[in-house]
Amino acid sequence: MPPFTTLTGVAAPMPLVNIDTDMIIPKQFLKTIQRSGLGKNLFDEMRYDRQGNEIADFVLNQPAYRQAEILVAGDNFGCGSSREHAPWALLDFGIRCVISTSFADIFHGNCFKNGILPITLPQAQVDVLMDEARKGANARITVDLAAQTVSTSDGTVFTFDIDPFRKHCLLNGLDDIGLTLEKAAAIDAFEARARLAQPWA
Amino acid sequence: MSTQGTPKTLYDKIWDAHVVHQDADGTCLIYIDRHLVHEVTSPQAFEGLRMTGRRVRAPEKTVAVPDHNVPTDARRAERIDDEMSRIQVETLRQNAREFGVELYDVDDVRQGIVHIVGPEQGWTLPGLTIVCGDSHTATHGAFGALAHGIGTSEVEHVLATQTLIQKKSKNMLVRVEGELPPGVTAKDITLTIIGRTGTAGGTGHVIEYAGSAIRGLSMEGRMTVCNMAIEGGARAGLIAPDEKTFAYVMGRPHAPKGAAWEAAMAYWQTLKSDEGAQYDKVVEIDAAEIAPVVTWGTSPEDVLPITGTVPRPEDFEGAKREAAARALDYMGLTPGQRLADVEIDTVFIGSCTNGRIEDLREVARIMEGRRVKEGLRAMIVPGSGLVRLQAEQEGIADKLRAAGFDWRMAGCSMCLGMNPDQLAPGERCASTSNRNFEGRQGYKGRTHLMSPAMAAAAAITGRLTDVRELV
């Protein structure tokens, strides 16, 4: 997993609430057996017409946001299906950070497995960042994970909360499975106990 | 043990029984008892194992079944026309073989939607932790199992370690007391709850469903309720197991037998929230106030009684107003229009929400002496091969075919339209599935969620219909 330390980039405004993972990556793209290559189909049905032409007024098709690395989104981002293809598509497009007032649980967890930082902030602060994002390519947002801050180009700084373990893994690009296998003895012991106490389980 | 100290919720008890390791900051390693695997969210996970030289730690606790993109026509065992779907199903087959995991293949009568197969085969038991790379894993909570969806990285993590790294969620109680009015079903309960709490209402929580109306439901109904916990934002829903649960589980192929059954029963009977257990959030609903409902918009929280009218964007505040305007445009509806006047093109009966035998019996009951309206496409996709077989043995299949339904093979089908069963742009569907998102059932397709009884009523009249007018 790529580490996440700091990021300065263009933020795309997507104020719509309840952006679900079907919107982020529609089902016809879930038939792949790989993780890569999904960026071109990110937000496919909002981004292209039936003939595959770009829909000009969709945010990521506008010149200012084609290189966006941050999304500022409406409440409950990533709800619906558990498909990890959603963060894969975001990452493949180049989005490394999503800012919203809330995230659906499964999507939130999936982000951390892929080096994407989901930042939860209060509505008033998301509103400020949304306005900032609307200014386009001139208004770059800076995210500093170690300091837990989001800064606008005019110097406004917000701090955010993050689970310390997840922060540690993200900063260092750590592989969860490797960490867990260090606890193999504890898993063995659990299984040995369970075999006696609950042989049906 | 459970009666000492602080009273615990059912969730607390199952969680505590599965902690393998706890870090100082509260991050836990949780043991996973059952892992259900399907073709869409597992290929990258198995590939990850292969690349790192890891094996499946507990293949005997893992079961695989293709469901999401399998076609539902009779010739699918011979061939799947869509090349990418075929490759995914074939990849699952190879991975199951290579890693020693049991597979219910497309030609196996036990094949079906993973969340219907798990309970049917007795993989799903009270008190277990169950995961699957699918958000509707919440379904298994109906048995008092802690069950939730995971992403593909976590699928790989469970395959390799039989554990998950997690922090404990909060406790939420949804209590539904009283008697359900006639024509009101489990689906109406679960949609009404989501309409009340919103799709983010359960975020960060595990929901326990309780109260006399929940206890009064069959196991099938309880699965319908828990299935949509995720649409309410909660990763997992739970219902305390009782005699109905034990009766359902007994004798299933993977359920414990003999002395193990007795021991399991003794444990399962402790699986209920203690008197005085604390919840972070409580929602109370009077069963008598629940009506047959349908969704009008593109979020499962857009729920109204069938007697209602299409709302105006101005009825909502803040960002939801904009979302409502967008939804009305997408759905092709006009504010003030009576929901019962909305005409449909398609009826879909099936999915992990409502593809069980009781759902099909209910549809057959409503259809008695009636027919699908001329010109409608009406399909029934049983949730598993065994549900399909049982419906055939009970004579339901013949009746439904005679009434004009297309009787399909088992799978997820039009719930998410990954297989050929899809809506065309602008087509409107009365659907017993769980999501009405934009494009969910097909590009620009329009979905109205409802109960099987309501979908049957819509099939008869060709419009959204109050089933109470027909019974």
Q: What is the pLDDT of residue B1?
A: 45
Whole-angstrom Cα distance, residue B415 to residue B145? 24
Strands (E), B362-420: 377-380, 406-407
What is the Cα–Cα distance from B311 to B315, expressed in whole angstroms?
7
A103 vs A89: CA distance, rounded Å: 17
| Residue B33 one-letter amino acid | D
Contact status of A55 with chain B (Cβ, < 8 Å): no
CB contact under 8 A, A180 and B33: no
Tokens 């549900």, residue located: B387
A81 interface with B at CB cutoff 8 Å = yes
**How much is the mean pLDDT over chain A?**
96
pLDDT higher than 90, residue A158? yes
Q: How much is the pLDDT for A8?
A: 97
CA separation, residue A32 to residues A85, B83, B84, B331, B353 (Å): 9, 11, 7, 30, 26
DSSP letters, B25-65, are TS-EEEE-SEEEE-TTTSHHHHHHHHHHT---S-GGGEEE-
Residues 6+ apart with CB under 8 A from A107: A21, A77, A78, A79, A82, A86, A87, A118
Pair B144, B10: CB distance under 8 Å: yes
Neighbour-count burial of B166, counting CB atoms closer than 10 A to its CB (0-12 exposed, 13-18 middle, 19+ buried): buried
Instruction: Give me the pLDDT at residue B2, please.
Output: 45
How many whole angstroms separate alpha carbon B77 and alpha carbon B108?
Answer: 9
Is any Cβ of chain A less than 8 angstroms from the Cβ of B437?
A: yes
ipTM of the complex: 0.95
- Chain B residue with CA closest to A187: the answer is B20
Domains delineated in chain A: 6-173 (3.20.19.10)
What is the Cα–Cα distance from A201 to B31, expressed in whole angstroms? Answer: 11
What is the C-alpha to C-alpha distance for residues B207 and B238, in angstroms, rounded to an integer? 6
Distance from CA of residue B355 to its chain's centroid?
A: 9
Q: Could you give the CA distance from residue A21 to residue A16 in angstroms, rounded to a whole number?
A: 13
> pLDDT (tens digit, 9 = 90+) per residue, A20-39?
999 999 999 999 999 999 99
Query: Is A28 within 8 Å of chain B by CB?
Result: yes
- Please list, in sequence order, all residues whose beta carbon lies within 8 angstroms of the beta carbon of residue B340, skipping any fewer than 6 positions away: B306, B307, B463, B464, B465, B466
Q: CA B397: distance to chain centroid?
A: 22
**Chain B window 349-408: which residues touch A at a Cβ cutoff of 8 Å?**
none
CA distance B266 to chain A (A): 11
User: For position A201, what pLDDT does the model report?
Assistant: 94
If pLDDT is split at 50, 70 and 90, which confidence band does A3 have? very high
In chain A, the residue whose alpha carbon lies closest to the alpha carbon of B92 is A33
Whether A102 sits inside 8 A of B203 (CB atoms) is yes
Percent of chain A with pLDDT over 70: 100
A2 pLDDT tier (thresholds 50, 70, 90): confident
Given a cut of 70, the residues of chain B with pLDDT beneath it are 1-4
Q: How far apart are the first and last CA of chain A?
A: 33
Whether B424 has its CB under 8 Å from any CB of chain A: the answer is: no
Nearest Cβ partner of A113 from B40, B68, B153? Answer: B153
Residues 6+ apart with CB under 8 A from B308: B339
pLDDT in tens, B372-386: 999 999 999 999 999
B270 is written with which tokens? 């402790």
Query: How crowded is residue B310: how many other Cβ atoms within 10 Å of its Cβ?
Result: 19
**Does the beta-carbon distance from A177 to B261 stay under 8 Å?**
no
Provide, as residue numbers in chain A, all residues whose Cβ is less than 8 Å from the Cβ of B21: 183, 186
Cα separation, B147 vs A82, whole angstroms = 13
Name the nearest CA neighbour of B308 among B138, B180, B192, B425: B192
- The CA distance from B144 to B243, in Å, is 12
Compute how many other C-beta atoms are within 10 angstroms of the C-beta atom of residue B152: 27
Measured between CA atoms, how close is B148 to chain A, in angstroms? 9
Contacts of B135 in chain A (CB under 8 A): 80-82, 106
